[in-house]
């Protein structure tokens, strides 16, 4: 994805006076990482159709179960997540 498209995606994020931001329609917030090194991403829903997400969701279900409350947590290194998912599908919060 070129810089123009990423900038276009970032424009879709509406900040709420420093309290956070609204999640754009068609995106899902995720918390990626292990223990103290976690980063929040906003991921396009279309990525859930990609086979790479099945592995990540399986990792999450093994660690947290199927009844996670709140934000979806993915227990893998941020670098691995970015490699597997690719920047085409995410907005880093």
| 59 or 15, greater pLDDT | 59
User: Which pTM was predicted?
Assistant: 0.67
Give the model's pLDDT for residue 17.
43
- The per-residue pLDDT for range 21-75, each reduced to its tens digit, is 678 889 888 899 987 888 888 888 888 888 888 889 999 999 888 887 888 899 9
Give the model's pLDDT for residue 75.
92
Domain layout of the chain by residue ranges: 3-92
Whole-angstrom distance, CA of residue 63 vs CA of residue 36: 16
Show Cβ contacts of residue 75 under 8 Å, excluding neighbours closer than 6 positions. Answer: 33, 34, 59, 60, 63, 64
- Given a contact cutoff of 8 angstroms between Cβ atoms, the answer to whether 60 and 72 are in contact is yes
Using the Cα atoms of residue 65, residue 36, residue 18 and residue 12 in order, give the sign of their dihedral.
negative
């Amino acid at each position: 994805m070129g810089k123009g498209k990423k900038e276009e995606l970032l424009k879709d994020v509406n900040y709420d006076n420093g309290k956070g931001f609204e999640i754009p329609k068609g995106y899902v917030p995720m918390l990626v990482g292990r223990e103290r090194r976690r980063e929040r991403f906003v991921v396009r829903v279309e990525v859930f159709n990609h086979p790479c997400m099945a592995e990540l969701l399986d990792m999450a279900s093994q660690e947290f179960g199927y009844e996670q409350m709140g934000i979806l947590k993915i227990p893998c290194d941020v670098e691995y997540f970015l490699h597997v998912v690719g920047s085409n599908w995410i907005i880093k919060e």
